[in-house]
A and B are shown apart, each in its own frame.
Chain A
């Protein structure tokens, strides 16, 4: 029974739902002029939403609402804020791209906003079912978006693949969660934690359920060996949708991983952290090695995403071994910083692909970037900043993210984690090769097509801002790091 009095607690989500419905209504069969208005409306509501989340983040309060179905805490608001900003940036990059392909319709905006709503629900979930509902809302919107280019074979194939594997993953997750429900008799995350603490359950059921949960999360995060969909979907979907998939949903995946594994099942941490170590090392190895062989930029970035998320996941692993919960929180906040900065970089890289694409030309082969530094030094420099950031070279933000995770591993003082840290840095050395190759293509190769690039002004400015953020957060990472740490500490100590 939902108490109506606690409804206002989720006011940002309610606002988003209302505005999404308005956008859906206004955007139906819209003429060009009205579409422009719809787009502005969508962006404006997202901006207001971002402000609401930001405001809540400042308040830094922890409140449970709707019969403890949701939790309002800084972590949820931070992730939701980042996801909202990511969606805004995505829409900004997507507009000229979609317009030139006749794909800019009301549906795109509505579905993007619905997926954001799903993300917001997920990251503030305090109940397994709420997690699932949010996940499905996000996923179904994204499946539909992937098929946006419905008369395009590759796109349709990607959508099918995404849908089938995504549904399978959701099924895994649901199955695992139901096992946990069977063992503990509750769906509320804190109650599950409490029930597991007593340790009266059948351990086999718990482990069995845990395997399904981790597999489901692995699918959603796109970790090896559950990564099969990632390259195909990244490559097949229209780039605007690829960006939508590769940006904000990663934050949501982090959110539910944290809510389910850390907040709900930390009693089982001994089991899941071993699984995560395996997933993480496999992802880093496979992602980095497979990326070397790619010639399609979107595919390469997909494999890079697998490797990067594997590195991020390392932040979750020092849970049991940690001497104090502080050490574990250190790991989670490093992972949070990692994922936020990773999304920031990803937005820029796919944004760049869209800026370079013209009508009837997808700039998605690495060779399309050849000589970019001569055609547009600014765009090439920004892209180089992203590549060096992903490779983990200071003073770009990606280095500090990697550094934060590494220090969390070494802070355990356990030799296994020291080895893990060494493996991680050596695998990221392999990664540096293909990021450098992109820089090489842009700066050292001669352009095939020498015409200067005239990107749409708005998108170019957005790209520049994105690049500045990658450098700015690199030179002065402290602010964001502290916000991440406070959010994680608050979430753990409530």
Chain B
């Protein structure tokens, strides 16, 4: 069994075992089992990066087995320099999420950990699948565990949020399903995504495909104006759910642009690039302003996620190597930073049971160690040089300047707005005198929370100080993708 298959099926099998055997009265064993499984699943992804051939844009670590012969669909996995990072990111975040839930979740413990492990395997499957039907299967299947996670362990309005999440994303994906079936028929019964990349298509066909994929991916990213589900869902989701949602599930959409929209419909992508760029700029500027007025910390970070993801879509559609690499770096760094932000809010929520900014103030006095981490992550969120948040945004802005000065100028305002809403929140939550009784009784983070935040802090700093390994691995794949997109596929 290849490492990729292991990375997918190990967490899924572990999750199924937990669902089958775990009970609340053996919660301790369940937690340890989940942690060991998550770490093992992360370890099997390491060889993917150490054994990666950075000189080749071809798919590596491929596995191909016949799956549904009736439709020529294969169990075909493989990673290139772009997707390999997300496989690692997913496995890493899963370890963090398992640690974060350790003693917080006391009810239906096995189901919680089981759902996260299964979700992790499914998301890795999305990044690793190079067969269209297999991709769709994994892409859609992720909805089931996430729906359950939000619905069972979410906040008071969780039912509404879980339905909104499920139906909103399902609507987008169903249109993508029609597009996938259309491509299958056009390519003479093939589900190979690489064959679709080579398929010549007329402009109307490309446009239809482009918008069908846009429906699925824009909802998932989410892009303005179909972003409204995200804040609602984040507010209600449990901490781990929010972290996985922001860190990885949003990336599924952005990744879809690179795997489907751009290479399959390059002419339509060029033609409609202005639309995506406009939507991205609105996300960056308008959503940045919306974030500023939020009173709920989770909502604020949720809006900030939308704004950050706007950078990714912007970077894709200026068709420039620096921009695309910046966008991918931004996706990875946002994975670390947003997970850290949500986990930080979770740390506070577990103690005070409020997400309102006004319920806090002066947390740095009672939780100095935690505040240090929180400020670091906040700095990364506003894109301070030296942190992971800076690299991607800077690359995208630089690339955009070459594309159009005014677009770049608008995009750069994000740095200001990002700093404004993040730092203002930090000021109100962490600094100033302690006025609330609940804050004065706060205990600083325990070793478990320290470990989880420290792991993320190391990732954020390492990526910010030395991003070269990331760009080295993806360079060849990004260039190949851009070269492919530059060629017209019109018939």
Contact = CB atoms under 8 A, between A and B. Distances in A.
The B interface is mostly helix, strand or loop, or mixed, namely helix
Chain B: number of interface residues, binned into ranges: 35 or more
A405 to B, nearest CB: 10
A399 B140 contact: yes
A410 B181 contact: yes
Contact of B175 (A381, A407, A425, A436): A425
Interface string A374-405: 10010001000000100001110001100110
Interface in A352-375: 373-374
Given A432-B166, A443-B151, A395 B70 contact: no
Interface stretch (A55-63, A77-85, A279-287, A476-484): A476-484
B408 interface: no
Contacts of B66: 478
Contacts of B369: none
A485 B69 CA distance: 12
Chain A: number of interface residues, binned into ranges: 35 or more
B260 to A, nearest CB: 17
Interface in A414-450: 418, 421-422, 425-426, 428-429, 432-433, 436, 439-440, 443-444
Contact of B174 (A377, A418, A426): A426
A428 to B, nearest CB: 7
Given A406-B177, A407-B181, A388 B144 contact: yes
B466 interface: no
Given A393-B140, A421-B178, A444 B158 contact: yes
A411 interface: yes
A8 interface: no
A252 B211 CA distance: 41
A413 interface: yes
A444 B68 contact: no
B292 interface: no
The A interface is mostly helix, strand or loop, or mixed, namely helix
B182 A377 contact: no
Interface in B361-404: none
B32 interface: no
Contact of A481 (B70, B133, B152, B162): B70
A388 B3 CA distance: 30
B152 A407 contact: no
B141 A406 contact: no
A381 B20 CA distance: 10
Contacts of A426: 171, 174
Contacts of A476: 67
Contact of A381 (B19, B141, B166): B19
Contacts of A411: 185
A211 to B, nearest CB: 32
A411 to B, nearest CB: 5
A478 B182 contact: no
Given A432-B166, A436-B147, A443-B152, A422 B178 contact: yes
Interface in A71-103: none
A399 B139 CA distance: 13
B204 to A, nearest CB: 11
B194 interface: no
A274 B110 CA distance: 52
A436 B144 CA distance: 10
B148 interface: yes
A237 B29 CA distance: 47
Interface string B36-69: 0000000000000000000000000000001111
A478 B70 contact: yes
Given A377-B111, A393-B143, A440-B162, A478 B181 contact: no
Q: Which one of A394, A410, A425, A482 has the greatest number of beta carbons of chain B within 10 Å?
A: A394
B178 A410 contact: yes
A439 B147 CA distance: 10
B102 interface: no
B4 to A, nearest CB: 17
Given A395-B137, A444-B151, A485-B70, A410 B182 contact: yes
Nearest to A411: B185
Contacts of A399: 137, 140
B226 interface: no
11 contacts: A373-B111, A393-B143, A393-B144, A395-B141, A418-B178, A425-B174, A425-B178, A440-B151, A476-B67, A478-B67, A482-B69
User: 4 nearest interchain CB pairs?
Assistant: A394-B137, A481-B70, A425-B174, A444-B151
Given A425-B177, A432-B166, 19 more contacts: A373-B152, A393-B143, A393-B144, A394-B136, A395-B137, A399-B137, A403-B181, A406-B177, A406-B181, A410-B182, A418-B178, A429-B171, A432-B167, A439-B147, A443-B148, A443-B151, A477-B70, A481-B71, A485-B70
